[in-house]
Every structure is written in structure tokens, then in C-alpha cells.
Amino acid sequence: MNNINKNYIVIAVVAVIICIVILIYIFSLNQTDYNNYEDLEITSTEEENKEETEEKEKIKVHIAGSVVSEGIVELEEGARVADAIDKVGGTTPDANMNQVNLAYKLEDGQKIYIPNQNEEEYKITEGMEGIQTNEDINKNNELININTATQTELELLPGIGPSTATKIIDYREENGEFETIDDIKNVPGIGEAKYETIKNSITV
């Protein structure tokens, strides 16, 4: 009788051990799946961030006036006036920053002018402190022909960086000349908003 009880106890212990081993195995599988999912999610997020960074175009703006180093600077699309000032080493002690909107979002081809303290009646262009737009700078210049313009000429258009200029040239090479200026909206990357900023500066 004692032997039978001992056998039952042994069987019960073995069964418990087997259950524990099975539970540990199942838990380890779930943990592995979770780690793989987490790694996949992190990798996916990193790739998306990388793509967004790569897609950002570069813009060029001219900064002059009371700054450490006047000239043309290259910035990422979406940069602000403050970014351009930092790029040239900051402002000089006599700069009149009360007339400058540091948060203003820049576009390719714009000119930023930082006035000094003696310029009490500094002219503000279209309500944008310290900013001159391409339209103001080039209003007396000839229109840019989008059928014949080089990449450099296309980059003079507001909001058109090297990448978009290349797309314009590629489009006309593949599809022929633009029949109207509206046709430029067929170029990838040129939507209604960007078209509105360049339509008065282009021709066919």
C-alpha cells in the first residue's frame, strides 16, 4: 500500500514538473514574439524618420544687415529666421531685433535684412518684419520660362529647391514642354500652395 502511495506521489511530482516546463516554454515563446514585434516597430519608426529627413529639401536665403557675416546660407526646408541668423554667427550689437520676426518661416530665394538701431523707419515688406520676398526682389525681372530654364534658374523661384528643380526638368524631358504654366502642377511635389507662390514668376 505504501508503495502505491509513493508511486502516486512520484507521478504527481513529475506531472507538476512537466506542467511547469510547458508553462516556461510558452512564456518564452510569447516573450520572443513580443521582443521581435518591439524590434520591428522600432526599426519601422527609425526608417520612417530617416525617409522624412532624406525628403527634406534644402533652401538658400540671403541674409544681410546687422549680422556677423552677410551672405547666402543653405538651410533645411521649413527653417525660420532664427535659424538663418544662427547660421551666420548671430547679430551685431547694434541690431534692432524689435523689427525682426525670428519665428517667420523662410522660403527658398528670400532675403532677410536685419536693421540696426539707427534705422527708425525701416520699411517692413508686406507686414513681415525684416523679410523681403522673391516677388519683391524680382518684381522687375523677366519671368522664368519653365520650358527652357536651367536647374539654377528654376531654383530662383520661391520654394523651389534643387530636388524640385530636378523634378521639373525630368518631367518636361519625359512629357514634352509645358503648354501652360498650370501644367507645372503635374510635377511631383508642386501642389496648389506652391503653385500659388510661383505662378507670377513663371511663363511658357
Flag whether pLDDT at 167 surpasses 80: yes
How is the chain split into domains, by residue range?
1-55, 58-137, 144-203
The per-residue pLDDT for range 14-64, each reduced to its tens digit, is 777 887 888 887 877 766 555 555 555 555 566 665 555 455 688 888 888
Contact 107, 89 (CB under 8 A): no
More confident residue, 113 or 32: 113
Placement of cell 525684416 in the chain:
130
pLDDT for 129 equals 45
What spatial distance separates the first Cα and last Cα of the chain, rounded to whole Å?
107
Residues 136-155 have pLDDT tens digits of 444 445 788 999 888 888 88
Q: Would you place residue 169 in the very low, low, confident or very high pLDDT band (cuts 50, 70, 90)?
A: very high
Mean pLDDT of 64-78: 87
pLDDT of residue 44: 57
Per CATH, domain 144-203 is 1.10.150.320: yes
Kindly report the number of other CB atoms within 10 A of residue 57's CB atom. Answer: 16
Q: Is 146 helix (H, G, I), strand (E, B) or coil?
A: coil
What gap in Å lies between CA 140 and CA 155, rounded to an integer?
Answer: 18
Averaged pLDDT for residues 123-134: 44
The SS3 assignment for 201 reads helix
**Percent of the residues in the chain that have a pLDDT greater than 70, as a whole number:** 71
Question: 65 CB contacts (<8 Å, ≥6 apart)?
Answer: 95, 112, 113, 114, 115, 116, 130
* Nearest alpha-carbon partner for 137 in 204, 57, 64, 190: 64
Confidence (pLDDT) at 48? 60
CATH fit for domain 58-137, picks 3.10.20, 3.40.50, 3.30.200, 3.40.30: 3.10.20
